[in-house]
Amino acid sequence: MHTDPHPFDAAIRLVQEDEHRYRGATTAAYANMVGPYGGITCAVMLQAVLAHPQRQDDPIALTVNFAAPIADGAFDVEARPARTNRSTQHWAVQLSQQDAIAATATVALATRRETWSAPEAVPPPEMPPASTLQRTSLPGVPAWVRAYDLRFVEGGMPTAFDGREQPHSRTEVWVRDEPPRPLDFPSLAALSDSFFPRIFLRRRSFALVGTVSLTTYFHADAAMLRAQSDRHVLGAARALNFRNGFFDQSAEIWSDDGRLLAASHQIVYFRE
Amino acid sequence: MHTDPHPFDAAIRLVQEDEHRYRGATTAAYANMVGPYGGITCAVMLQAVLAHPQRQDDPIALTVNFAAPIADGAFDVEARPARTNRSTQHWAVQLSQQDAIAATATVALATRRETWSAPEAVPPPEMPPASTLQRTSLPGVPAWVRAYDLRFVEGGMPTAFDGREQPHSRTEVWVRDEPPRPLDFPSLAALSDSFFPRIFLRRRSFALVGTVSLTTYFHADAAMLRAQSDRHVLGAARALNFRNGFFDQSAEIWSDDGRLLAASHQIVYFRE
């Protein structure tokens, strides 16, 4: 029996061309308004490191810089180890099209050992379970949004851009891949960018937006991701500041038993 | 009359060797327990971009990955433009010693235009002015700590590592360069790493620590930095999570009139 791969796996599929070079292509399932969804680009650049024969252990930090629009179609990803230590490994990654760099990334991999551990931040309190909420239907949105099952508790996509400025831009949302897929590092990296632009929520008016730089820290190890499997995770996002063409966003991704899986930060360009 | 440069300017001084390559050296004023203070490394790597003839406008994002310990002495910094657009420019930077990469960085520069702007986060409330507080004296700390005038309101360096675990690791502190120096992008980048390791505050026991990756978003433009000049800025830092050898830190740097200058995030390795 032949089973088609999950659309996420199809989207991050890379073919190795030489030692440090891979070939991939955008897919319709993760299309954004122009070019691919930023989260899938994060996942692809991380995947180039994870698929590399020299890879050592699991990701602890990923930074992706969106240097130029990515066109629909084929792209090259180059992943080079910059430094390998006993318990950490640093990578430099570039995504290019027609030999022009469209995105740069750095990835840190790390070996984890059991130590004293303690949470400090806590997940949003009194969240209704995902199973008690309806999947949000968002007609007219780009394809990638339909690649997620989103169940908003607070701060969903505004139903109208009526220009009524809101006091804050916080979102709390249950989210998983659609169709369901067990969580792994690439899908967690992608999920970290699945929040709508904070300016849409805060300002309730349309703006052209584009993430300039995004950083995700992985607090989960592979065992925590396996335990989470394909159930909804809880996302919480907010902005600190909007100023003269740029705003930031900080987000946390929590497991459904309240453990921090990832923290993600980005700075976003906007034009009115 | 000859005036010695400020120790900060001496520490980030780079001599251009060829188009994309600079030579610098660590200085005693910013020494850490082993090698240089991480914040000065951030400043040096940013400075390589800002000093480059192809530099376009001011920084919006800086990520530095601390790939290996930096030895006291000379180092090379290579700064290459990865992509230049109309209003953003992306750079890849490497710091090496003996041809081995010790740190990698990415820098995004951006042109800012006046737009709708709004703060969302607010500075810590009811902070006593810096002038009403004493400079904290910290005997026995590494040299770089004395390169700052630190006035803690909450969460200073524990006076004893007595192992009494604390409920949180929050810090609120007034900080400026010592001797005073007008704030600019490199010094703001350095300041963003001037918080003591959160694990020292939370756990009150010693651990070996090392930042793996640090990202700073610049909300201030050059005019805001000029307006702040050499007065104390307000730093606020906290951790989200400590787990199996890594913890994170998020920090904000506020002007003394309550405007967000920078937000900075890092993930830190620790060993008990």
Q: Is the dihedral of CA A156, A157, A162, A168 positive or negative?
A: positive
Residues in chain A: 272
Measuring CA to CA, which residue among A67, A104, A263 is closest to residue B263? A263
Considering CB atoms only, which of A63, A115, A240 is closest to B106? A63
Chain A closest CA to B30's CA: distance in Å?
24
Give A84→chain B minimum CA distance, Å. 8
C-alpha to C-alpha distance for A115 and B60, rounded to whole angstroms: 36
Tell me the chain A residues in contact with residue B246 when contact means C-beta distances shorter than 8 Å. 60, 110, 112, 219
User: Pick from A63, A271, A238: which is nearest to B65 by CA?
Assistant: A63
Give me the pLDDT at residue B159, please. 83
Judging contacts by C-beta atoms under 8 Å, the chain B residues touching residue A165 are: 118
Q: What is the rounded distance in angstroms from the CA atom of residue A34 to the CA atom of residue A28?
A: 11
Residues of chain B positioned with their CB less than 8 A from the CB of A241: 118-121, 219, 260, 263
Q: Residues, chain B, total? A: 272
CB contact under 8 A, A83 and B90: no
Q: How many helices, marked H, and strands, marked E, lie in chain B?
A: 5, 14
CB spacing of A116 vs B92 below 8 angstroms: no
Count residue pairs from A and B with Cβ separation < 8 A: 220
Which residue, chain included where needed, has tokens 């192992």? B163
Q: How many CB atoms lie within 10 A of CB B11?
A: 27
What parts of chain B have a pLDDT lower than 70?
Answer: 1-2
The rounded distance, in Å, linking the Cα atoms of A96 and A76 is 5
What tokens appear for A82 in the block?
Answer: 């910059």
To the nearest whole Å, the CA of A89 is away from the closest chain B CA by 7
Across the interface, of B82, B119, B219, the residue whose CB is closest to A67 is B82
Please list every residue in chain A whose beta carbon sits closer than 8 Å to the beta carbon of residue B168.
120
- The residue written with tokens 């003269």 in the block is A244
SS3 A38: helix
User: Of A88, A64, A118, A116, which Cα lies nearest the Cα of A260?
Assistant: A118
- Alpha-carbon gap, residue A39 to A191, rounded angstroms: 7
Q: Are B9 and B43 in contact (CB under 8 A)?
A: no
Give the DSSP letter string of A74-97: EEEEEEEEEEE-SSEEEEEEEEEE
Amino acid A159: pLDDT? 84
CA nearest to B210 within chain A: A88
CB contact under 8 A, B90 and A100: no
Decide: A126 and B258 in contact? Cβ < 8 Å.
no
Q: Count the neighbouring beta carbons within 10 Å of the beta carbon of residue B127.
A: 19
Is residue A225 helix, strand or coil?
helix
pLDDT in tens, chain A (272 residues): 668 999 999 999 999 999 999 999 999 999 999 999 999 999 999 999 999 999 999 999 999 999 999 999 999 999 999 999 999 999 999 999 999 999 999 999 999 999 999 999 999 998 999 999 999 998 889 999 999 999 999 999 888 899 999 999 999 999 999 999 999 999 999 999 999 999 999 999 999 999 999 999 999 999 999 999 999 999 999 999 999 999 999 999 999 999 999 999 999 999 98
Bridge partners (DSSP) listed for residue B79: B93
User: Which candidate, B186, B160, B180, B175, places its Cα nearest to that of B230?
Assistant: B180
pLDDT of residue A1: 61
Distance CA B114, CA A225 (A): 43
Q: How far is B105 from chain A (nearest CA, A)?
A: 8
The pair of structure tokens assigned to A19 is: 């030692």
User: Counting Cβ atoms within 10 Å, is residue B208 exposed (0-12), middle (13-18) or buried (19+)?
Assistant: exposed
Cross-chain CB nearest to A215 (options B203, B260, B265): B265
- pLDDT tens per residue across span A192-227: 999 999 999 999 999 999 999 999 999 999 999 999
Chain A residues with CB inside 8 Å of B250's CB?
Answer: 250, 263, 265
Q: What token pair was written down for A186? A: 């690439």
Count Cβ neighbours within 10 Å for each residue of B172-204 and write b for 16 or more, e otherwise.
bbbbbbbeebebbbbbbbbbbbbbbbbbbbbbb
Contacts of B96 (CB under 8 A, 6+ apart): B75, B76, B78, B102
CA distance B154 to chain A (A): 17
The rounded distance, in Å, linking the Cα atoms of B88 and B109 is 5
CB contact under 8 A, A213 and B213: no
